[in-house]
Structure 1
């Protein structure tokens, strides 16, 4: 059994110039208040590119109190600390930054606060009133803002979360490390926040601190990285535990019901909507279902092309069934939980790994969004060119009176026209985005890495660019193959054209509707915008969102009355959902898949999160 009571970990990345002096200072400081043989100093060398590894090895060979923990790959600051903590022998685990910015006279208080059993966690602070930390503006202002956000969103009682001077009880640390997800600069904050939430005793005490070396506010790490981690932790600790499946389904359903009731009772006459639905030709409505059914084998074929390009072969009919099941899941469960079902089905039935399943789904969603946006954007750009946006703008602003602010009067119709023109620019940009992806996929250069690192050279930039590259790489794997791109791209357009044609057939089922080229164009736009509205995962299947967007566009672009437009949207969406459910139930029986089991298994896979479309 080891006699070591205290393990001090020094996270080191390319510290050849200072690491030896830091270790010697640490050893002498510990020896001044701890018994001989009761402590160790671990150099957590994180994939260094300089002489740090050989220096650390030499020190460990010369002094039994020193250990060298090596990592071949960069683990990140938090990852290196976690790795070393798990290999440490002491019951009190300590770490501080190797630049010794914190005055070492505070080390005894740090260690003894935990070693004595009085606290589970101890951390130095540069923001308590009684300390004398030298904080120049370029460090102090961002630090103050960051710590304020952490206290506000994560309900922390601490003043300073990022001071590199902390100690932990071993049992508490190992318990917390199982929950901490960040491996980089947010690691400290997440540990302290989770320690407080778990009820551990946390001590914060003032330290004298002097900045050493060059430091700067890093756009990627500080704004994107830290900010996103605060949001992620807030969601996990404060929001997610309260959102059970029952709560989310109930809330989403109530939201949609309220929206539909408001639309029907306030905007339109409910009786007129019901009369319009009852007057529709049932045979034509049924035929629209047949038309929509034709798009499903096309979906299966497109998914087969994507998987083949990612290195996995399968058959069209099996993949069509898998898509039926996942889309049925999206109708039953909120927040598009059905998207993960497909990854489970292809894993369970065709041994396609979860990462590939989710990656292929992400690629498919990108092409879906591009196809929908191309259809909507093309019509919208045409409306702007021909002046057709005036009709939509007037419809949007019909019941909205002018608003006076001071001496200025805001014309709702003019504001709507401006918004539509902006939307047209976005649509054109999305179409141009297709060309950009194609060009970048055919160039032997790392555009994502270059773009991110142009903003920052911090290690977190490498981390962020790696995540983005993984996603873009999957898309570009398909795009880079001219044949695959054409098959998937054209297939996506055909799939969504069939989706629009289904709506056109539904239009034809209503006696008061006379089909014309302008009405078909309006249908293309209405269906496309309706499907874009469904991107927000506010309700199962986007029910309510689709109808609202569809009705607004049809009323604005055609002479179709409000009640009839709403009736058409309801029937169109109902036909598509009915085909999906029938196909999903048949596919579940054919492939022997339980929808609830598939959702649970896909959520527990833990390898990669599904992309929302």
Structure 2
């Protein structure tokens, strides 16, 4: 079926919103996730686009994107050979050009209706809007083990030392002022699980605040995180972030980041 005139008109203009989807060996979940995301974005009354970052996959993830059918929402591929979700998100965000950008996980665990809320807040002047599963009005279906839940509580306590006032740094649903996040992510050096913490901290250092919004979130099978295998590495990442931000703050650092941080204190 040939593209509709509406599709041609949308794709002929630069996107107002670009969404990055990091993907590592996501051949099973990516097609359904892209269908959901493109269907959602196609209903928005302005041009949008999707960037899928293939993070050195060994399956058909890249081929799925390369052969994705043309439609009202362009989907393009960026390749990132550096391992780690943080590296993939960084590559994708640096490849954006839109005034407003975001990223979400390939499994679309966060209900995509939250895009409307996040985008509306960006239009109203917010610069960083993130989904929070810890928000009082969020609806969360969580099948994680008790051990993993306890680990998440500990991680959030440590993350709040670096990004004060943010209750959930790890929800894979974040939206930004494009110019701000491209500047912030250029200096990102954490490519593992804790990359979100450094990214948000850098946005704060550039003078932004972080606004959390409630989400409907469903735990999806296929998570690669293991408390036994990854906890020590995550603690090391958080320590490195803390030292890095203290040692070399950005020129636009806000007063909060000019003060010493207490690594064991609570916000």
Contact 1:156 1:196 in 2 (8 A): no
Structure with the largest fraction of strand: 2
The whole-number CA distance in structure 2 between the counterparts of 1:214 and 1:24 is: 19
Partner of 1:131: 138
Partner of 1:95: 103
Partner of 1:233: 241
TM-score by length of 1: 0.36
Partner of 1:34: 45
Using the TM superposition, give the Cα deviation of residue 163 of structure 1 relative to its aligned residue in structure 2, in angstroms.
0.4
Contact 1:16 1:51 in 2 (8 A): yes
Using the TM superposition, give the Cα deviation of residue 117 of structure 1 relative to its aligned residue in structure 2, in angstroms.
4.6
Structure 2's unaligned 5+ residue stretches are 1-11, 250-267
Using the TM superposition, give the Cα deviation of residue 110 of structure 1 relative to its aligned residue in structure 2, in angstroms.
2.0
The whole-number CA distance in structure 2 between the counterparts of 1:187 and 1:20 is: 25
Using the TM superposition, give the Cα deviation of residue 240 of structure 1 relative to its aligned residue in structure 2, in angstroms.
6.7
Contact 2:147 2:227 in 1 (8 A): no
Partner of 1:10: 21
Contact 1:121 1:202 in 2 (8 A): yes
Secondary structure in 1 aligned to 2:140? coil
- 1:136-176, CA deviations, whole angstroms, 9 ceiling, x for partnerless residues? 4344221111011111x325210000000001111111111
The whole-number CA distance in structure 2 between the counterparts of 1:69 and 1:178 is: 16
Aligned residues: 234
Partner of 2:7: none
Provide runs of 4+ in structure 1 moved above 4 Å.
none
Contact 1:142 1:217 in 2 (8 A): no
Using the TM superposition, give the Cα deviation of residue 3 of structure 1 relative to its aligned residue in structure 2, in angstroms.
2.1
The whole-number CA distance in structure 2 between the counterparts of 1:99 and 1:139 is: 19
Partner of 1:105: 113
Structure with the largest fraction of helix: 1
Partner of 1:78: 86
The whole-number CA distance in structure 2 between the counterparts of 1:48 and 1:41 is: 18
Q: Which residue of the other structure, out of 136, 142, 149, is the alignment partner of 2:151?
A: 142
Partner of 1:57: 66
Structure 1's unaligned 5+ residue stretches are 242-613
Secondary structure in 2 aligned to 1:133? strand
The higher relative CO (CA closer than 8 Å, separation ≥ 6) is in 2
The whole-number CA distance in structure 2 between the counterparts of 1:191 and 1:34 is: 29
The whole-number CA distance in structure 1 between the counterparts of 2:17 and 2:247 is: 37
Contact 1:138 1:217 in 2 (8 A): no
> Greater CA radius of gyration, 1 or 2?
1
Residues 48, 124 of structure 1: alpha-carbon distance in 2 compared, 3 angstrom cutoff: same
Partner of 1:176: 184
TM-score by length of 2: 0.80
- 1:318-348, CA deviations, whole angstroms, 9 ceiling, x for partnerless residues? xxxxxxxxxxxxxxxxxxxxxxxxxxxxxxx
Using the TM superposition, give the Cα deviation of residue 220 of structure 1 relative to its aligned residue in structure 2, in angstroms.
4.0
Residues 23, 78 of structure 1: alpha-carbon distance in 2 compared, 3 angstrom cutoff: same
Residues 229, 170 of structure 1: alpha-carbon distance in 2 compared, 3 angstrom cutoff: same
